């Protein structure tokens, strides 16, 4: 199914310029550039998403022409970084719901303008764990806001609007299985999305704090009892806006510390880097698996067509039947 924006006004526009990612319908051939996108991977920093782009390139055996390297497609916007590796987009979303929200609007329109079909969206992130040690992989089954409501609250024309947060159950379960098959300690559960890292997450080490350690622990224990596994800052908007657009989505975060034990992140850079790679590895495994499935389907279909054709025309140039999606081989 083609990606669709849910906005009748956009259809009337002569041109749509996606300001924050620096791409437009009048300035770029979006179908040619992005029509083949099947996986949209998002994470906080440009650095991490560039790393993921290079990682997934190796994982799926995607080859650039000699002398070419990946380039940030949105570099002129100075807002987000976007890399494309065949059917995979790797994009930084910055920190917090508003930053992610701008990007979601523009990426959904981008894929709709491009005529992309059935993409799966992933958020690959970092988080604070509730009763989980650093390095644990958390796949979100449900996302709730700081007030424990399973909604993305937004304001439209001055009025509060609450949107349901829905993640894809099938993709979520597969990601848990893949994490376990890679011997990562992995759990599925609820994720809390806050709008502040310090007071918003009950930390004792912000510039402001007028609660006690007992208050903090009481709050974190309440989250624990409600099935919360981790806290981050983008999940509700990610789950609500992908759901509103009708695209499949899942969230995989690594835990950087156990919030029941502390607030400060003091793990060494090397260990942190290894932990941060875990969600990337899990999502890469999902992508590889599904590209292989697609490849097998294409091959089977091509074989069927070839058999059918050969009954009637033995002289046809059957190279036209070969799947063109060569990046699927690995």
One-letter-per-residue 3-state SS of 264-303: CCCCCHHHHHHHHHHHHHHHHHHHHHHHHHHHHHHHHHHH
Candidates 17-25, 166-174, 183-191, 285-293: pick the segment binding a copy of itself (CB under 8 A).
17-25
Angle at 266 between CA 261 and CA 269, to 5 degrees: 135
* Min dist. Cβ of residue 276 to a copy of itself (A): 11
86 neighbors 60 (Cβ within 8 angstroms)? yes
**x-marked contacts with a copy of itself along 125-164 as a string, rule CB under 8 A:** --------------------xxxx-----xxxxxxxx---
Q: Which of residues 200-229 bind a copy of itself (CB under 8 A)?
A: 200, 202, 204-211, 213, 215-216, 219, 222
CB of residue 10 to a copy of itself, shortest distance in Å: 6
- The verdict on 45 binding a copy of itself (CB under 8 A) reads yes
d(CA 256, CA 259): 9
Q: Alpha-carbon distance 301 to 295, whole Å? A: 10
Q: Does 6 bind a copy of itself (CB under 8 A)?
A: yes
Q: Which of residues 264-303 bind a copy of itself (CB under 8 A)?
A: 264-266
38 near a copy of itself, rule: CB under 8 A: no
The tokens for 81 are: 């970084």
**Nearer to a copy of itself by C-beta: 1 or 157?**
157
241-270 residues in contact with a copy of itself (CB under 8 A) are: 241, 244-245, 264-266
Comparison of 58 and 222: residue with beta carbon closer to a copy of itself: 222
Nearest to 139 by CA among 123, 153, 152, 155: 123
Give the Cβ contact number of residue 303 at 10 Å: 11
Selected from 46, 87, 128, 135, the binder of a copy of itself by CB under 8 A is 46
Q: 257 to each of 112, 114, 132, 133, 329, how far by Cα in Å?
A: 38, 40, 8, 6, 38
State yes or no: residue 118 binds a copy of itself (CB under 8 A): no
């Amino acid at each position: 199914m083609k990606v669709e924006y849910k906005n009748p006004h956009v259809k009337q526009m002569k041109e749509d310029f996606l300001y924050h990612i620096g791409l437009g319908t009048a300035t770029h051939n979006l179908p040619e550039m992005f029509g083949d996108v099947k996986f949209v991977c998002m994470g906080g920093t440009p650095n991490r998403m560039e790393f993921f782009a290079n990682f997934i390139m190796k994982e799926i055996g995607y080859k650039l022409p000699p002398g070419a390297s990946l380039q940030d497609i949105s570099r002129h916007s100075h807002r987000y970084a976007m890399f494309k590796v065949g059917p995979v987009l790797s994009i930084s979303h910055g920190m917090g719901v508003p930053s992610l929200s701008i990007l979601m609007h523009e990426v959904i329109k981008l894929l709709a303008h491009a005529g992309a079909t059935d993409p799966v969206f992933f958020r690959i992130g970092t988080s604070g764990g509730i009763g989980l040690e650093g390095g644990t992989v958390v796949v979100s089954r449900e996302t709730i806001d700081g007030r424990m409501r399973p909604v993305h609250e937004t304001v439209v024309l001055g009025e509060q609007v609450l949107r349901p947060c829905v993640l894809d159950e099938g993709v979520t379960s597969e990601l848990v299985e893949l994490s376990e098959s890679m011997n990562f300690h992995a759990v599925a559960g609820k994720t809390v999305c806050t709008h502040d890292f310090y007071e918003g997450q009950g930390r004792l080490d912000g510039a402001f704090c007028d609660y006690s350690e007992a208050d903090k622990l009481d709050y974190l224990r309440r989250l624990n009892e409600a099935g919360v596994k981790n806290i981050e800052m983008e999940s509700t908007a990610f789950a609500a806006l992908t759901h509103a657009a009708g695209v499949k989505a899942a969230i995989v975060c690594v835990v950087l510390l156990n919030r029941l034990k502390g607030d400060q992140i003091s793990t060494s850079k090397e260990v942190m880097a290894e932990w941060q790679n875990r969600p990337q590895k899990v999502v890469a495994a999902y992508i590889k698996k599904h590209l292989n499935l697609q490849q097998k389907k294409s091959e089977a279909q091509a074989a069927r067509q070839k058999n059918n054709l050969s009954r009637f025309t033995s002289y046809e140039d059957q190279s036209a039947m070969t799947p063109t999606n060569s990046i699927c081989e690995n």
